[in-house]
Amino acid sequence: MQIDIQTKGFELTEALRRHIIRRLGFRLSISDQPVQRVNLHLMDENGPRGGKDKRCRIRIILARVADVVVEDTQVDLYLAIDRAIDRAGRSLNRRLERQRDWRQTSKSASACPLPQTDAVTVQTSLAL
């Protein structure tokens, strides 16, 4: 899994980078579909003014499945990261479950033969 972390408004510390990688590893390791790439954008909207402005935006990219995009904003950056990763993991699992259900439904539908009926011939004529 390739992880791309980008920041805006502050520098990425080694402790923050380790925290993100550890949390993503825990949350995304439970999916049976390998994650190709994770894009994580961290922003401090208001800068030194403070407030609820620490934003974490996550985009999970998988093969043959639509991307999962989640965003969370909190006062604390670590809390925004944790909540966004948890929500992204839940969204990913729901999406994969829907895909499995759809595949099972389509397989079972193709396995059920259509009932045999007598052939009916329909002829139409056009009067000119």
The mean per-residue pLDDT over the stretch 98-103 comes to: 74
In percent, the amount of the chain with pLDDT more than 70 equals 73
Q: What is the pLDDT of residues 66-94, one digit of tens each?
A: 899 999 999 999 999 999 999 999 998 88
Supply the pLDDT for residue 122. 43
Closest CA to 53 of 98, 8, 92: 8
- Asked if 58 and 69 touch (Cβ cutoff 8 Å), the reply is yes
Q: How confident is the model at residue 55 (pLDDT cuts 50, 70, 90)?
A: very high
Supply the pLDDT for residue 20. 95
Task: Report yes or no on whether pTM surpasses 0.85.
Answer: no
**Residue type at 29?**
S
Q: Does domain 2-107 have CATH number 3.30.160.100?
A: yes
The mean per-residue pLDDT over the stretch 17-29 comes to: 90
Supply the pLDDT for residue 120. 46
Supply the pLDDT for residue 121. 44
| Annotated domain spans of the chain | 2-107
Q: Is the pLDDT score of 110 beyond 60?
A: no
In percent, the amount of the chain with pLDDT more than 90 equals 46
- 86 burial type by CB count under 10 A (0-12 exposed, 13-18 middle, 19+ buried): middle
Helix axes 77-111, 14-28, angle to 10 degrees: 20
